Structure 1
Amino acid sequence: MAWAPMFHMASSDQMIACLCTGAHVFVVDGFDLDEILPLVAQHRLWWLLVLPGTVDRFCAAIVASGITPRGIKRIGAMADLVPPQQIAEITALLQAPFGNTFGATETGLPPASAGLLPVGQIPASLAKTVNALCEIRLVDANDHDVPDGEPGELVIRGPTLFSGYWNAPQATAQDFRGGWFHMGDVFRRHPDRTLSFADRVKYLIKTGGENVYPAEIERVLLADPRVTEAVVVRRPDPQWGEVPIAFVARSDDALTADALLALCRGQLAGYKRPKEIHFVPFDQFPRSTTGRVQRGEVERWLRCTKRVFTCESSASAYAGGPAQLAAGLAWPVQWG
């Protein structure tokens, strides 16, 4: 079933694979549950795509409709961006494992999408299995291979790789330097050769000379079942250079920033802990067409000269959306 934009691998890769094997493809114009759910009930599906930001709505719709899936081999994608309890819930409802995928439009699925997360379980690990038909390395800033356990950028070569950027020879040469495509994604390799996602290179926060990967903090926050979204971005800081700031959506208004900070204290080193936690309604997070939160837009909220906060002890809780952030209707806080 192809409901995601055709210009993205989320629909194009699976659609081409199905058509090449003689299977049917159902095309749905966007995330339209009124169209999607009847197809789930009527047809056996190879891969039902469920993207970050849609899982909770999908679960609610399945429960409300009472449908029984005809049969699904796998669901989902980009498990690192989905709250773990939502993975357990949707796999139980659809009785299908969740795809523990990593890929890109430039590479297709092959980098590390071979693994599946079991039905009805909160995943203990999101370590990924490398696919066949590709070679990968993890390298440092000088393109030297990093040892197991150390963060390194994933570089790849193989037959599914694109040939270059359209009319951008300099960008193509830069990203294909040394004969390997540099993806801009940082991983750690385990002794069993599986890979754990750290973050995008461009999202790295440098605080007091230490490297902080937002995804590590986000995984801790998302482990609380009351958290439905968590995004950590950087904010300039006169003492540390940059510090991590968290924006969180919650399903329970009783959840406090102090409770989340306590969770972070138990699992993260001091320099990795968010300096502030702001609560934002789930539907106010700016998203791309593939469901990813647009971090640049979230960082832009911090650059507004006025915003509305409700203080919660040592952290802040924000109750409005981006429009209210800019409006500064109450207790305006000036940022340098």
Structure 2
Amino acid sequence: MKTLQIGLDWFPEQPSGLGRVYYNCVNYLPKVDVEVKGLVAGSKKVSLGSQGQVRAFAPPDSPLIKRCQGIRKSVCQLLAESDYSLIVSHFALYTFPIQDLIGDRPLVTHFHGPWALESGVEANKRIAVKVKKWLEQSVYRRSQQFIVLSQTFSDILHQEYQVPLEKINIIPGGINIDCFNINLAPIEARSQLGWHQDRPIIFCIRRLAKRMGLENLVAAMAKVRTVYPDILLHIAGKGELATTLKTQIAELELEDNVKLLGYIPDEQLPLCYRAANFSVVPTVALEGFGLIVVESLAAGTPVLGTPIGGIPEILKPFSEDLVFEGYHPEQLARGIIETLSGDRILPSSQSCLDYVQTNYNWPAIAQKIKLVYQRALTD
């Protein structure tokens, strides 16, 4: 089976949840006899970094018209060079301009999230949201099969975009466990990172954006500090909310308890997870899966998450103590204090690893994706 996969960007250049799933599809699908050629917005280094499997059709910061022209030109070139039995979309914006080029080839869509709805949460631009949703629906009407990361995304795809349930396949995100299962004690990980050895540390990695719930988490830390004065929260990530968070931390006089780490290189993430007592995912809206939840568990570090989207789908079957009652600051604070006091029982590092190994290992996930691709070919 030969597939042409249309992505958003190249994960090593632009870290994101969508990018990571696409990156792993490129790496793991060939191991189950699914040949992959890919196109993304990126630099000229993409082809070298992917051993020629993926090409960049335009720089990600180039004007939209240039990116649309680039994706059309690149698809024409690839279709002229070889025949593809299946076209796979990971991002509707870059699939929309090539619909007429697909011909009678089946199209499978990996639905990584409601692009239009997410935009509506981040900024109140109604016309832009309507245009994005129309564009998404145009691509989705053309798709034979869909892959979603969670029941939550299945519901959104069905209810918001009117996609029939029989076309939707739930396949959770996965990880390369060997990358996160590092053989280090937490004290050794802290030493390598230069983190405090004798303070309880919470780790949170998120894009610094509104729907991630980071303002609520910072507010919760003001309450946690009254009970545990030496608590330390490390927040990793970059985004438009950085200035707001810095101001909030200063106003609450939390400079000694909350640190903004900025961008963390991918190779350092396992160390950061491993160095923490536990991780927190404080999302307030539209969390389709929560790959960082699985990453933390694979590093042997328990993670507390809000009951939003796909987060409880991962955590509740493992341990209900890992799910907050809600996402408001007082609910986050109560959950963190109960965890630090031992009233909430955290699973062991080995239990965390075993759970991920059983449920979120990429080789098994690649096989499930292949079955959906095969179904699209016979529809």
Structure-1-length-normalised TM-score: 0.32
Structure number having the greater strand percentage:
1
Structure-2-length-normalised TM-score: 0.29
Q: Looking at both structures, which has the greater relative contact order when contacts are Cα pairs under 8 Å and sequence separation is at least 6?
A: 2
Structure number having the greater helix percentage:
2
